[in-house]
Amino acid sequence: MKIDRLIAITMYLLNRETVSASALAERFEVSKRTIQRDVETLNQAGIPIVSTFGTNGGYSIIDGFKLTKQIACIDDYLNIITALQGLNSIYNTQKVNMTLEKALTTMQSGDQRIFIDFSSARENIIVNEHLITVDKAVSEKRLLKICYTNADNFFSERIVEPLALSYQWYAWYLLAFCLEKNDYRLYKLLRISHCEIIVGHFSKKHESAEALMKYHVNEDKRKYFNTRILCKGEIRQQVSEYLSSNIIKQQENGDFFIEINMPFEHMWFSLLLGFGDKIKVLDCDELKAMLKQKAKEIISIYQ
């Protein structure tokens, strides 16, 4: 409906500086001419949208404008509350609790239908303490000194400019600008043994954390293995649940083949090892060698 699109465009512009007509057209899947008509309609309704020309031109809402009308419906608040409760289950802070309380107070009625609980994904107490310190440093734009051990067990001390926290790949990460490397890095909080806020200022103005995060995710430099695996029929459910792979071929006895593409990381390697003799790696010689070596090491400690 047009009214829904008009509200969405208003909220979209309120949360951004300047957005081009083409970007709005792509975002809302309409033509640029439709966007122009929508902007005219919003202006007539009293929403002060201005347009600028040039390379960085587009539409924006005049600074200082605030919506005074209630334009969110019950489902909108339910979605907000669901997201806040999910965040609260993994990162329980006073700020999140206060925001959640405000949202609950604003919502007059409505039954929540979706519940998200990440509490089982909480890491150890050190990570929880780091989260508080890093969050403070990010919000106040303060320098951080961290003691870090990478995946190759190399220890180093770094001074970084913290930009954002991210929960991905089943763990918390810090996106920061490393002064030593003069580049952006993702640091896994679980690998930080110590972090503290120190005196100092950021060396430069950084791009938006969202753009930098997208770049680092797209530029994933982790090593991956791609292989076919023969699985016993009795572990079909476990394979479906933990490996999220489609069956590419099934045998008459119920055994089946899958194809996986996973990073060379301890978590995924341990997951494969945990299936024991119920799976057999068929293609990747390096992965097979790793599994054989680990099996020998396990046997040796019990002999």
At a CB cut-off of 8 Å and minimum separation 6, what does 264 contact?
Answer: 222, 223, 224, 225
pLDDT score for 71? 60
* Region 143-148 average pLDDT: 97
At a CB cut-off of 8 Å and minimum separation 6, what does 254 contact?
Answer: 232, 233, 234, 236
Question: Considering the entire predicted model, what is its pTM?
Answer: 0.62
Per cent of the chain over pLDDT 70 is 92
At a CB cut-off of 8 Å and minimum separation 6, what does 291 contact?
Answer: 272, 273, 281
**210-254 pLDDT, tens digit each:** 888 888 777 767 778 889 999 999 999 998 888 877 788 999 999
pLDDT score for 66? 61
Q: Which of 161, 163, 271, 158 is nearest to 225 (CA)?
A: 271
Question: How far is the C-alpha of 212 from the C-alpha of 194, rounded, in Å?
Answer: 25
Query: What would the CATH number be for the domain defined by 2-61?
Result: 1.10.10.10
CATH of 125-218, one of 1.10.1740, 2.30.30, 3.10.590, 1.10.860: 2.30.30
Q: Going by CATH, does the domain composed of 224-300 fall within 3.40.50.2300?
A: no
pLDDT band, very low/low/confident/very high, at 122 (cuts 50, 70, 90): low
Q: Which two tokens stand for residue 224?
A: 């991956």
pLDDT at 256 > cutoff 90: yes
Question: How far is the C-alpha of 160 from the C-alpha of 145, rounded, in Å?
Answer: 6
Q: Which of 170, 164, 142, 173 is nearest to 210 (CA)?
A: 164
pLDDT score for 233? 93
Question: How far is the C-alpha of 232 from the C-alpha of 254, rounded, in Å?
Answer: 7
Question: How far is the C-alpha of 163 from the C-alpha of 176, rounded, in Å?
Answer: 5
Residue type, 90: I
Structural domain spans, the chain: 2-61, 74-121, 125-218, 224-300
pLDDT at 161 > cutoff 90: yes
pLDDT score for 5? 82
Residue type, 248: I
**73-108 pLDDT, tens digit each:** 777 777 788 888 888 877 777 777 777 777 776 665
Q: How many CB atoms lie within 10 A of CB 281?
A: 20
CA distances from 173 to 35, 130, 134, 167, 188 (A): 38, 11, 10, 6, 4
Question: How far is the C-alpha of 251 from the C-alpha of 258, rounded, in Å?
Answer: 12
Q: What does residue 216 show for φ and ψ, rounded to 5 degrees?
A: -70, -35
- The whole-chain average pLDDT of the chain stands at 85
pLDDT score for 1? 53
Question: How far is the C-alpha of 251 from the C-alpha of 257, rounded, in Å?
Answer: 8
pLDDT score for 109? 60
